[in-house]
Amino acid sequence: MTTKILITGACGQIGTELVAALRAKHGWKNVIASDIYPATDEMQACGTYIKLDVLNKKKLAYTVTQLGIGEIYHLAAVLSAKGEQNPTGAWDLNMQGLLNVLEVAKEKKVKKIFWPSSIAVFGPDSMPAVCFQNAKADPLTVYGISKMAGEYWCRYYQRNYGLDVRSLRYPGLISYSAPGGGGTTDYAVDIFHAAMESGSYTCFLKENTGLPMLYMADAIRATLELMEAPKANLSVETSYNIAGMSFTPGELAQAIRVHVPGLEVAYSPDKRQRRKLADYDQ
């Protein structure tokens, strides 16, 4: 029987592209998108969409049973910069949402789960210049703390309940289909739109703040490949590092000017820089 797949937080930056990729691969009937928003005609146009709050464990369990879900991609979360505006709220969603998914998956015998972690688990003591797979976790934000704790919860459910949970530590993801969801690397998405719309952009980070980034298409490919890999080939029970390239806002602006010569960029670092999220976080 074909596996039915549920995606939580499907309307966000990653979900928008991951749902399309999964539907292309597994067929639109087998991929159910969900988010906290009520369904619209547009959301229903390419496949099934349901309104689902991941904090509503009962409804999550009901959905998994009713739709015969065999795989969950759990994307619903608050990202780094937004999380700092409401740390306890971010903790509630990021932790309880994950625990609900893990518990329901255990109870309903869901075959596989994907849950993204982040480079935000790393910090000043993690050797940020070359951050190895087993570098020391040193999260500075509530978002990073929730990702670090989440990684260990995932390992706990694998070891104690035999759940097949897979994870990648994404860096900042660059895409054009949906806006960034409130991370410290969102500038690298926004600047392209600003370049096309107004020809000018005010960056919330300093010109020389380097951060690790990955193009969305590469992140999606890595996610699909990780989920398809034979279980026996996997050795990391927490989350796999994945890298693309690092650059600064100044370098990105220069690269865009090759195509949009008049692009003007001002730098007005805000809390995301001042709290030093940007020095080690995404």
Nearer to ligand NAD, 169 or 253 (CB): 169
Residue 143 annotated as catalytic: yes
Our finding on whether 63 is near ligand NAD (CB under 6 A) is no
Which span sits near ligand NAD by CB under 6 A: 9-17, 202-210, 224-232, 263-271? Answer: 9-17
C-beta of residue 35 within 8 angstroms of C-beta of residue 19: no
Q: Which of 31, 76, 191, 263 binds ligand NAD (CB under 6 A)?
A: 76
Our finding on whether 181 is near ligand NAD (CB under 6 A) is yes
Binding to ligand NAD (CB under 6 A): which residues in 110-149?
Answer: 116, 118
Nearer to ligand NAD, 70 or 182 (CB): 182
Q: Which of 55, 61, 222, 227 binds ligand NAD (CB under 6 A)?
A: 55
Site string for ligand NAD, 145-174 (x = CB under 6 A): -------------------------x-xx-
Our finding on whether 93 is near ligand NAD (CB under 6 A) is yes
Residue 155 Cβ, how far from ligand NAD at the closest point, in Å? 17
Our finding on whether 90 is near ligand NAD (CB under 6 A) is no
Binding to ligand NAD (CB under 6 A): which residues in 236-265?
Answer: none
Our finding on whether 183 is near ligand NAD (CB under 6 A) is yes
Nearer to ligand NAD, 93 or 203 (CB): 93
Q: How far is CA 44 from the centre of its chain?
A: 23
Between vectors from CA 31 to CA 83 and to CA 168, what angle results, nearest 5°? 45
Rounded to whole angstroms, how far apart are CA atoms 126 and 105? Answer: 32
Backbone angles phi, psi at 201, to 5 degrees: -150, 140
Catalytic residues: 143
Contact positions vs ligand NAD (CB under 6 A): 8-9, 11-15, 35-36, 53-55, 75-77, 79, 93, 116, 118, 170, 172-173, 181-183, 185, 282
